[in-house]
Structure 1
Amino acid sequence: MTTITDYINNDFRAMDSEETILAAQDFFMDVSFSHFPVLEDGIYLGSIVAEDIETFDTDKKISNYKYTLEPFFVRSSMNWLDVLEVFGKNHTDIVPVLDENNHYLGYYELTDSMRFLNETPFIKEAGGIIIVKKALVDYSMSQVSQIVESNNGKLLGLFVSKSDNDTIEITIKVTLGVMNDIIQTFRRYNYEIISEHNDDNYINTLKERSDYLDKYLNI
């Protein structure tokens, strides 16, 4: 079974704080990374930012600009959702990985982390996506699960895809074959269906009635 730690990468060694800015600039000219980890005596200091070093003096060392290094990292014990959160919060395509003793192990690349996500059942398994909306005060995660399972559906995953002070939107992935029953049950529990579905009997009936009314009015 593949785990997120299988994607720890060491194709490029971490930069040393005693390397020159010119060497760092040359490195970023050859790769498309937004950041890259910097070590001092084997200890992780932070990540240097590709855009920042464009304005640095080329004859100085990275250690002269320690204050610009960004300190984000992940632990090797962290799950893939926490890892993706670090990517997003720091607007980076590289995240250094440390063990529990703060030893530098390598780095995750965003493309590899997304590849790992694509191997999860939420993405990989065949199923249908339903997006529902409800007042925040009335929302219940257990109720969402109950609605799916009470209609003999299998819940493959769900997450909060949008939220504000009043409402919340939930993206749900379920097994195919019971979609319409699940959709109609959500409506009975006053959930608004945001996603469109070809097999939505409620919408199809409304459309048929609208078409009939248009035809009647045009007689």
Structure 2
Amino acid sequence: MNINDFILEEIKALTLNDTVRCAQQVCENLPITHIPIVEGGKLIGCLPESDIQTIEDKDKKLSEYSYLLDIFYSNNKTTLLDLIVLFADNDCNLIPVLNEEMNYAGYYELSDVLDAFADSPFLHNESETLIIGKNKSDYSIGQIAQIVETNGAKLLGLYISSENQDNIQVTLKIITQEINEVIQTFRRYDYHVVTQHEDDFYLEELKDRAAYLRKYLDM
């Protein structure tokens, strides 16, 4: 997959000489959070839709509101994960793209990027999701991968999904027919298993019954 294939040009970028009315009309016709503003092929910034709609004098030029512009963009080397972070950090559904000459080349839409991510093997392949936790000073990505693979499973990918001052949680996507073996191995290495799995429930129930039986026999 080439993320550059998702660059769009359907929405025409505006200039600082365009009017507020023109910008408001663009936002009325399209569900976008920002409008790219370009001068001489160069991106000046992105005008937020939420600010555009509050301007009452529709005949004024956008140059009078340049202080409202947000500055964010991507380039043709930006990765899929970098784009998702950009969308989240800027609370937007449109990100301008600059080419190697730093000229405006188009934009990415959030829906297209999310669809591309959803179709990636990381999410699309049939797999088990496992979330594990451990003290930040003790966990090791290398050890995590080794635990998965020594149980005959395949690690599709992982990411740090939560952390605080002391602990960290890692989300794993694993291809395996025996997720319980992976879970028990993580426990032996003092990882806390956050996610709940049916096979694990069954094993824990057997352990509880065995403990109850031993207690009964000792009476």
TM-score normalized with structure 2 length: 0.92
Matched, 1:14 2:13: yes
The aligned counterpart of 2:148 is: 148
Alignment of 1:1-219 (within 5 A): 2-56=1-55, 57-200=57-200, 202-206=203-207, 208-209=209-210
Partner-residue secondary structure (3-state), 2:137: helix
- Which ranges in structure 1 are unaligned for 5 or more consecutive residues? none
Whole-angstrom distance in 1 between the partners of 2:96 and 2:112: 13
Partner-residue secondary structure (3-state), 1:107: strand
Question: How far did 1:55 drift?
Answer: 2.3
State, as a whole percentage, how many aligned pairs show the same letter: 36
- Which ranges in structure 2 are unaligned for 5 or more consecutive residues? none
Question: How far did 1:31 drift?
Answer: 1.2
Question: How far did 1:99 drift?
Answer: 1.2
Size of the aligned set, in residue pairs, is 212
Question: How far did 1:61 drift?
Answer: 0.9
Question: How far did 1:209 drift?
Answer: 5.0
Q: Deviations over 1:39-62 (max 9, x none)?
A: 112211010000111222211111
Q: Is contact 1:126-1:176 (8 Å) kept?
A: no
Whole-angstrom distance in 1 between the partners of 2:206 and 2:18: 69
C-alpha spacing 1:204/1:99, structure 2 compared with 1 (3 Å): farther
Q: Is contact 2:45-2:69 (8 Å) kept?
A: yes
Instruction: Give the letter aligned to residue 42 of structure 2.
Output: I
Whole-angstrom distance in 1 between the partners of 2:169 and 2:104: 39
Q: Is contact 1:76-1:98 (8 Å) kept?
A: yes
Q: Is contact 1:187-1:193 (8 Å) kept?
A: yes
Question: How far did 1:37 drift?
Answer: 0.6
Whole-angstrom distance in 2 between the partners of 1:92 and 1:43: 20
Partner-residue secondary structure (3-state), 2:35: strand
**CA RMSD, aligned part only?**
1.5
TM-score normalized with structure 1 length: 0.92
Whole-angstrom distance in 1 between the partners of 2:22 and 2:29: 11
Q: Is contact 1:96-1:106 (8 Å) kept?
A: yes
Question: How far did 1:27 drift?
Answer: 1.1
Partner-residue secondary structure (3-state), 1:157: strand
Partner-residue secondary structure (3-state), 1:129: strand
Q: Is contact 1:97-1:107 (8 Å) kept?
A: yes
Whole-angstrom distance in 2 between the partners of 1:90 and 1:13: 21
Q: Is contact 2:152-2:176 (8 Å) kept?
A: no
Q: Is contact 1:160-1:170 (8 Å) kept?
A: yes
Whole-angstrom distance in 2 between the partners of 1:202 and 1:42: 63
Q: Deviations over 1:128-161 (max 9, x none)?
A: 0111011111111111101001111100011111
Question: How far did 1:30 drift?
Answer: 1.1
C-alpha spacing 1:202/1:135, structure 2 compared with 1 (3 Å): farther
Question: How far did 1:208 drift?
Answer: 4.1
Q: Is contact 1:184-1:202 (8 Å) kept?
A: no
Whole-angstrom distance in 2 between the partners of 1:203 and 1:161: 26
